[in-house]
Structure 1
Amino acid sequence: MVDEPTNPLNSEIEALVNPSSIEQSDVLAEVEAVKAAQSPELPLLVASGLNKSFGGIRAIDNAAIEVRKGSITGLVGPNGAGKTTLFNLLLNFIRSDSGRVLFDGEPVHHLPPYRIARMGMVRTFQVARALSRMSVMDNMLLAAQKQTGENFWMTWFKQREIAQEEKQQRQKAMEILESIGLAHMASEYAGALSGGQRKLLEMGRALMTDPKLILLDEPAAGVNPTLINQICDRIQRWNREGLTFLIIEHNMDVIMSLCDRVWVLAEGRNLAAGTPAEIQSNPEVLEAYLGQ
């Protein structure tokens, strides 16, 4: 991967992820000011100063992350580093104690998750949450947004419109199922899918929402190597078509092959950020995550 050109913002990011005597909150404010002055386009997702404690345990400690539009960004760290908790804070599944999250230029840390999803930021889970007793197709259709038939009264007065919408959504769902290799199982119970196929189904449901950014929580966990390659191929293809991704993953081969930029968490704090090559050779990362 070609190194990024040097610009004044790099020193600010370096200060953020490798704190010195300067307070992190001050650095975050300065980083945002530099971005506003220099960047023609702000990142799609910017989170800063995030904190979350559970009882006396600080799970997230003044963490920050940014995801550039059109990128595949990785989030890595040892077990217990706070990666999934950070995902939950970004989507407000769990309310942060402090800090803010901007998505597509708008603050979202005060919004409920369903409104954030409607804005175009959605996620998958480490353990795929398919509705086992429903068909694969019905699982897909449940994810469709803003359907007229969701309103009880509209089912009486706009039956023709609702029928047309359902036809269009079924066609869209089948196209997505074909793209993830599950079209032949559209009428099967989702409970009949393998673990890897459930991960693909969950990605398919995310695509049904017409997202701008998809947060993937360990898409390769518990998946056989052949299917991992298929998942990576599809992520790259969707990225080329304009989708942006933020990925938590312990499989470093996946991170190194997919990601443009990688952020590292350790004990809830930012440890490093950079290209995959920079992260792979960072001594602090090797000590905290990869092992010397």
Structure 2
Amino acid sequence: MSAHTHDDIDWADRLAQLRMADTLDAEALAPVARRLVAGLPERPVVVDVGCGAGGMSVLFARELGRRDGGTVVLVDATPALLAEARRVVSAAAAGSVEVVGQSGDLADPELAGRVPAADLMWASGVVHHVGDQQAALRTLAGLLRPGGVLAIAEGGLEMRCLPWELGVGRPGLEPRLLAARAAWFARMRAGISGSVAMPYGWTRALREAGLEDVESFGALIDHPMPGSDLLREYVVHRVGWLAESAGEWLDADDRDTVAALTDPEGPDFLGRRDDLFLFGAKAIHCGRLR
């Protein structure tokens, strides 16, 4: 059953796209998981808030399995995503790694009573869906054990996947899709209950949340042409999703172009191209509780 969260996004409907993104991102994010887990104590507790389809926690579970084990706690408000995350993370976990699923939402004031204190708290693309982002970071920091690490993935470089000219419609479709998505994002943020401005960057926000040793680093996502079948399928989903979510900011010509590009029966279907790619970067920001 589809479920809408407080940001009015139907995350269950995006499960297939999230699964594909997890697979495509895994190679780039595995070193991130290794870096974050490396400094943790023995048998740590890792909590993934807004775990989605579970891709990052699969990587955490594998890293814990290479050590003495530990616990991975999956938290999500969408039942279909939480169930999928438990399935894939449990399949990846060694016998020494415990996997726990917990329904919950970062905006829920009762979250602290639902999850254990964490040695590593991870939240990817989650904080920006909460009205008061600074308060959300304080909530996450408050769930850490002394010496624990909070790491968030927010921002970075938007993924690019299309050539400039596609042989249908006007050149430069992708920048217009991303501009439309940015307009949608601004309205989404303004429409969240309790939305307040946070007019500074994520590293300052982590320091404001009481964390030390704050740093940022990037993970490059790079799948060059001609791309795999999975990449082509993902690009079809991504282009359709961008146009669907932000279509009111596109003109009629661009909407027609997207329809042609995502029509499996049409001559311009993206899924048959050999010049698609995926290139961008995820930004990770982290800090430690004294």
> TM-score w.r.t. structure 2 length?
0.29
Compare relative contact order (CA 8 Å, sep 6+) and give the higher one, 1 or 2.
1
> TM-score w.r.t. structure 1 length?
0.29
